Structure 1
């Protein structure tokens, strides 16, 4: 049986694989791998350290690591698009921890892989913590796992250009309401247009998932990131004066019953406690299996620019 507590990403450097430093050396190494997909499923996350890849050379690597690069459609994190389906990793203020999550686990379709690239390392802090999602699941109390067995319900209120949170235009990367409705129909989501061009989206999703290759059951939801109890005092204060269904985003169990605050705090805190930090040097890359591994961000000082791309 795999020892869940001993996991960490596999670190690959020019010295460890006998490759030349630079993007050509990394590309040659990647081309020599017999099956990157199986390697990633086995190791769960790969860190490519000290190859010295530059931002201008990033496409060469992404073409090999992300065969079907996807857009961040229906994403709820604030990002800036900086290239062909390449984004800033997040734009939350640097003093905040971003808790562990699998990207787009609340959506009907999520990326299978994420690739992070360090363009500028922070002056201090700024690591990307990663956690084995099977370990995260096993770390939770039986009471919490059982309560989540029926799944969760996510509710979003996306304004039409002015309001709290992201607009529906930003979220779906389009100004076409018809296009958004087609997307949501395909996603088996419920939605309605409210006053002021606000779009309310409701989705019922599972709390856990089985990996298509390994068969492992993993924790796979973002309830703690959608619940005001886990988002600090500002979110908690807003939740005290607004009904949950009117918040920019909220979450309940799939039957509509509330998720106790102590449950989401346990989920958040145990995910972070079990995480392994990936510290950044400029030019480093991190490839993760987005089902087997969740990720977050540690606080930092100074400038930090980490880019992310994803693959379906």
Structure 2
């Protein structure tokens, strides 16, 4: 099966690397069904199709390393939805291709919806696009008692490593009594393969992605500057609530979801397609690997 936005066509897919690459280039995402849920086989597949896997650096969500090249998908509670996003689009560097392996499918729910990023851009009202012409400002506050610590996020115990990374990637940083705060600016969209694609994580980083009770508690305890994550328009002003609602509506309209089966592998062009996660019941185990692109 090959997937793109809301359209899908069922075909007989074989582990033919050339055909997988051609299909990914044409459609933006490819689903291979009927394979093995073996992690070692998955890693070999990733290397054959995408080359050397990337390390998960500048982390924004909790994950566990299964091997040096394979990670668990974001470890959020089952009842929580993960908003649509392009992986690491908040960073100066991001993976070109994502590989998902379904080891255990959820009892109900748990799909990984994907959305055509160019369609999302086209569906947004012109006023929203204008608001985001200046990009997105991402802020993060790292502490040991909530969210990711800076040690986990940057995969180091050395503050100097963090400072070098931030300076290299144009991030402002400030050491605090609680840990670390960072602030950096990124574009909201990119031109890719002849199309303009919506490519950011403003909706996911923004405090409105939190449940109201959690948001109120965090604001009361830490204040706006101390929120684990937040997002602003490029000039530093707040993102209007109606803009965030328009972004969600565009993602909803452009997205497509399918139920996982054990052994499924989903290959995604990270700039062509955003992805998310639906709430679920029962056990669910989905693994992820990332590469710079196709070899």
Per the TM alignment, residue 205 of structure 1 is displaced from its structure 2 partner at its CA by: 0.5
* Equivalent of 1:228 in 184, 192, 207: 207
- Residue 34 of structure 2: aligned partner: 50
- Is the 1:53–1:283 contact (alpha carbons within 8 Å) kept by the matching residues of 2? yes
Task: Could you list the structure 1 runs, at least 4 aligned residues long, displaced by more than 4 angstroms after superposition.
Answer: none
- Residue 22 of structure 1: aligned partner: none
Per the TM alignment, residue 53 of structure 1 is displaced from its structure 2 partner at its CA by: 4.4
- Is the 1:11–1:49 contact (alpha carbons within 8 Å) kept by the matching residues of 2? no
- Is the 2:6–2:254 contact (alpha carbons within 8 Å) kept by the matching residues of 1? no
CA distance in 1, matches of 2:35, 2:213: 42
Per the TM alignment, residue 11 of structure 1 is displaced from its structure 2 partner at its CA by: 5.4
Per the TM alignment, residue 51 of structure 1 is displaced from its structure 2 partner at its CA by: 2.4
TM-score by length of structure 2 reads 0.91
- Residue 146 of structure 2: aligned partner: 164
In structure 2, the gaps of 5 or more residues are none
Per the TM alignment, residue 194 of structure 1 is displaced from its structure 2 partner at its CA by: 1.3
Q: Which has the higher contact order (CA 8 A, sep 6+)?
A: 2
Per the TM alignment, residue 244 of structure 1 is displaced from its structure 2 partner at its CA by: 2.0
Aligned pairs for 1:129-278 within 5 A:
129-159=113-143, 162-196=144-178, 198-211=179-192, 214-238=193-217, 240-241=219-220, 242-278=222-258
CA deviation digits over 1:265-285, x for unaligned, max 9? 221233134210032111110
Q: Pick closer, same or farther for the CA change 1:236–1:228 going to 2, 3 Å.
A: same
CA distance in 2, matches of 1:68, 1:209: 25
Q: Pick closer, same or farther for the CA change 1:235–1:268 going to 2, 3 Å.
A: farther
CA distance in 1, matches of 2:135, 2:108: 38
Aligned pairs for 1:21-60 within 5 A:
26=15, 29-30=16-17, 33=18, 36=21, 38-60=22-44
TM-score by length of structure 1 reads 0.87
In structure 1, the gaps of 5 or more residues are 20-25
Per the TM alignment, residue 291 of structure 1 is displaced from its structure 2 partner at its CA by: 0.6
CA deviation digits over 1:64-91, x for unaligned, max 9? 1221311111121111111113111111
Across the aligned residues of Structure 1 and Structure 2, the Cα RMSD in angstroms comes to 1.9
CA deviation digits over 1:200-223, x for unaligned, max 9? 111100110111xx1211111111
CA distance in 2, matches of 1:52, 1:46: 16
Q: Pick closer, same or farther for the CA change 1:5–1:78 going to 2, 3 Å.
A: closer
Larger deviation: 253-262 or 280-289? 253-262
CA distance in 1, matches of 2:202, 2:37: 36
Per the TM alignment, residue 231 of structure 1 is displaced from its structure 2 partner at its CA by: 2.4
Per the TM alignment, residue 262 of structure 1 is displaced from its structure 2 partner at its CA by: 2.0
DSSP 3-state at the match of 2:283: coil
CA distance in 1, matches of 2:246, 2:217: 22
